[in-house]
């Protein structure tokens, strides 16, 4: 027999046909908390609907918000019951709900599945509700079922977004058949909490996924370098990926716990520093090898210096101290501790884009005003352009498609400044080599290579000066 009260309109004021004082005294009062499951994976044709899981963002949003939403709950201290639809997404939500209740020191029985919640059969559900002796029952189900139940008791219902909670106080009275049935006359909506916007936590999930993937690539690059240190590309890839990870970690600084972010950046900076000279030697060796006038002795000398440095870097990276530091950094970035306010409210995409735009605007302003004769400043601006490029390339899903063009623009600036920085590094290395006791042919070639780099640097500075004067004019 259908429950007719579910189809009637509720008068929120006292009904003249309400319970008599005697019936009200005999009625069993229950607290009923209806919840719609969290944000789930989209429907796929090759998957049963009941097997759809919560998204990572959906789980994160519920984990963050449920403890605060449940502070509205008042209980007598008795263990509450949690009923769940057998659908996977509902059961996962129910387990997160149980965990949040424990965090609020509310004892809860193990989650029990009820087929009526999956079938969305209200009569069946009311029969089970009437049969239960529990005073507080959480019901994790689906839309429109949870809204229909509230509407049946109250005459109207708020719209339940994923993860929303509605707390009702209802009374059950003995019906004509001797069984307890709900009555709408004494039902009250105690409170309602709309579900969290999972998209705001999806941004955190995406940032974490990008950083984790980069960290895993670094670990693979490190193993590849250890396996074949004579291949100069292995150390180059390791260094590039380490710099990329450091850029990504630096970008999330406003949202990550300060101590964790600072430690990860410091370790990654140290690891990169160990490979800096290696990169400079490889750049010089590449330039020498490409020069048709370079003598075999100079080529051999540069290759030997680069190989010697690789052996040194290999020893450092394999050391117990650096291995321990590296492992600590990888563990840290794979499990980012977000600031409490961020973990609680999530991170809207717009906020990430605003930080990126501010970074690009700052770098663009510095590029426009850059004096290439300022060595330190040139090096710093180049690093920041590279950071903007790495952030754009690895966060397109968050930042938007136009980040690709921005990344390409930053890459062009990075390359042009890189040539200037490389020329300066080449000159510095050559000056260092010229202090050694080397064969005259090698010295002669080094001097010639030095003049080539000086000429390139002079030309770049002259061109930059002319451009700056043109802007001023």
Q: What is the pLDDT along the chain (473 residues), one digit of tens a residue?
A: 233 333 222 333 233 344 445 445 545 788 999 999 999 999 888 889 999 999 999 999 999 999 989 988 887 667 899 999 999 999 999 999 999 999 989 999 999 999 999 999 999 999 899 889 899 999 999 999 999 999 988 889 999 999 999 999 988 765 555 554 555 556 899 999 999 999 999 999 999 999 999 999 999 999 999 999 989 899 999 999 999 999 999 999 999 999 999 999 999 999 999 999 999 999 999 999 999 999 999 999 999 999 999 999 999 999 999 999 999 999 999 999 999 999 999 999 999 999 999 999 999 999 888 889 899 999 999 999 999 999 999 999 999 989 888 878 777 777 889 999 999 999 999 999 999 999 999 999 999 999 999 999 999 888 876 665 555 54
The CA–CA distances, whole Å, from 336 to 115, 151, 236, 419 equal 38, 42, 27, 36
- Three-state DSSP at 42 gives coil
Using alpha carbons, select from 66, 65, 77, 84 the residue that is nearest to residue 107.
77
* Distance, CA of 146 to CA of 155 (rounded, Å): 13
Residues 226 and 192 in one domain: no
* Distance, CA of 171 to CA of 19 (rounded, Å): 10
Q: Which of 196, 229, 244 represents a domain boundary (last residue)?
A: 196
State the first-to-last Cα distance of the chain, in angstroms, to the nearest integer.
89
Q: What confidence score (pLDDT) does residue 15 get?
A: 34
Residues 192 and 272 in one domain: no
Cβ(249)–Cβ(392) under 8 Å?
no
Q: Which of 167, 196, 225 represents a domain boundary (last residue)?
A: 196
Contacts of 212 (CB under 8 A, 6+ apart): 333, 334
Tokens 């352009």 locate to 385
* Distance, CA of 89 to CA of 112 (rounded, Å): 14
Residues 237 and 384 in one domain: yes
Q: What confidence score (pLDDT) does residue 401 get?
A: 85
Q: What is the DSSP letter of 182?
A: E
Determine phi and psi for 336, rounding to 5 degrees. Answer: -70, 130
Residues 121 and 177 in one domain: yes
- Helix, strand, coil: what percent of the chain each, to 5? 65, 10, 25
For the domain that residue 290 is a member of, what is the CATH number?
1.40.20.10
Q: What confidence score (pLDDT) does residue 44 get?
A: 85
Q: What confidence score (pLDDT) does residue 119 get?
A: 96
Contacts of 65 (CB under 8 A, 6+ apart): 163, 195, 196, 344
Peptide bond into 301 cis (omega under 30): no
Count up the domains in the chain and report the number.
Answer: 2
Q: Which of 141, 175, 196 represents a domain boundary (last residue)?
A: 196
Residues 126 and 165 in one domain: yes
Q: What confidence score (pLDDT) does residue 67 get?
A: 92
Residues 120 and 239 in one domain: no
Q: What confidence score (pLDDT) does residue 174 get?
A: 55
pTM, two decimals, is: 0.82
Residues 184 and 205 in one domain: no
Determine phi and psi for 183, rounding to 5 degrees. Answer: -130, 135
Q: What is the DSSP letter of 80?
A: B
Using alpha carbons, select from 35, 105, 110 the residue that is nearest to residue 74.
105
Residues 335 and 459 in one domain: yes
Residues 179 and 234 in one domain: no
Q: What confidence score (pLDDT) does residue 213 get?
A: 97
Residues 380 and 414 in one domain: yes
Q: Cβ-count burial of 204 within 10 angstroms (0-12 exposed, 13-18 middle, 19+ buried)?
A: buried
DSSP-derived secondary structure for 109-123? PPPEE-HHHHHT-HH
Residues 137 and 54 in one domain: yes
For the domain that residue 77 is a member of, what is the CATH number?
3.40.50.1240
Residues 234 and 341 in one domain: yes
Q: What confidence score (pLDDT) does residue 5 get?
A: 31
Q: What confidence score (pLDDT) does residue 76 get?
A: 67
Q: What confidence score (pLDDT) does residue 175 get?
A: 55
Domain that holds residue 299: 200-472
């Amino acid at each position: 027999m259908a429950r007719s009260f579910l189809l009637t309109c509720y008068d929120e004021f006292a009904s003249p046909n309400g319970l008599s004082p005697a019936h009200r005294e005999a009625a069993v009062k229950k607290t009923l908390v209806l919840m719609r499951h969290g944000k789930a994976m989209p429907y796929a044709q090759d998957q049963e609907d009941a097997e759809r899981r919560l998204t990572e963002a959906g789980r994160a949003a519920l984990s963050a918000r449920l403890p605060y939403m449940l502070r509205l709950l008042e209980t007598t201290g008795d263990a509450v019951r949690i009923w769940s639809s057998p659908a996977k997404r509902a059961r996962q939500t129910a387990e997160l709900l149980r965990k949040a209740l424990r965090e609020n020191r509310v004892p809860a029985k193990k989650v029990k599945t009820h087929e009526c919640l999956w079938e969305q059969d209200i009569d069946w559900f009311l029969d089970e509700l009437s049969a239960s002796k529990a005073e507080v029952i959480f019901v994790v189900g689906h839309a429109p079922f949870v809204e229909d139940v509230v509407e049946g008791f109250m005459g109207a219902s708020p719209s339940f977004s994923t993860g929303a909670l509605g707390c009702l106080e209802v009374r059950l009275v003995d019906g004509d058949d001797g069984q307890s049935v709900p009555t709408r006359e004494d039902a009250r909506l105690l409170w309602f909490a709309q579900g969290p916007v999972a998209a705001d936590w999806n941004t955190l999930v995406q940032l974490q996924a990008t950083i984790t993937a980069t960290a895993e690539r670094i670990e693979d690059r490190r193993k590849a370098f250890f396996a074949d240190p004579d291949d100069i590309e292995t150390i180059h890839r390791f260094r590039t990926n380490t710099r990329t990870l450091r850029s990504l970690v630096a970008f999330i600084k406003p949202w990550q716990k300060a101590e964790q972010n600072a430690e990860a950046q410091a370790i990654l900076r140290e690891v990169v520093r160990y490979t800096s000279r290696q990169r400079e030697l490889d750049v010089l060796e590449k330039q020498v090898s490409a020069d048709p006038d370079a003598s075999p002795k100079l080529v051999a000398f540069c290759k030997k210096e680069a190989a010697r440095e690789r052996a040194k870097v290999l020893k450092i990276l394999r050391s117990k101290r650096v291995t321990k530091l590296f492992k600590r950094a990888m563990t840290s970035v794979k499990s980012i501790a977000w600031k409490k306010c961020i973990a609680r409210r999530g991170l809207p995409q717009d906020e990430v884009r605003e930080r990126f735009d501010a970074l690009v605007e700052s770098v663009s302003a510095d590029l426009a005003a850059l004096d290439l004769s300022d060595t330190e400043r040139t090096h710093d601006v180049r690093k920041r352009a590279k950071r903007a490029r790495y952030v754009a390339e690895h966060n397109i899903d968050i930042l938007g498609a136009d980040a690709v063009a921005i990344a390409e623009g930053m890459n062009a600036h990075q390359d042009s400044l890189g040539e200037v920085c490389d020329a300066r590094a080449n000159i510095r290395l050559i000056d260092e080599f010229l202090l050694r006791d080397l064969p005259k042919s090698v010295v002669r070639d080094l001097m010639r290579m030095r003049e080539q780099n000086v000429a390139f640097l002079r030309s770049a500075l002259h061109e930059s000066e002319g451009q700056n004067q043109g802007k001023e004019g």
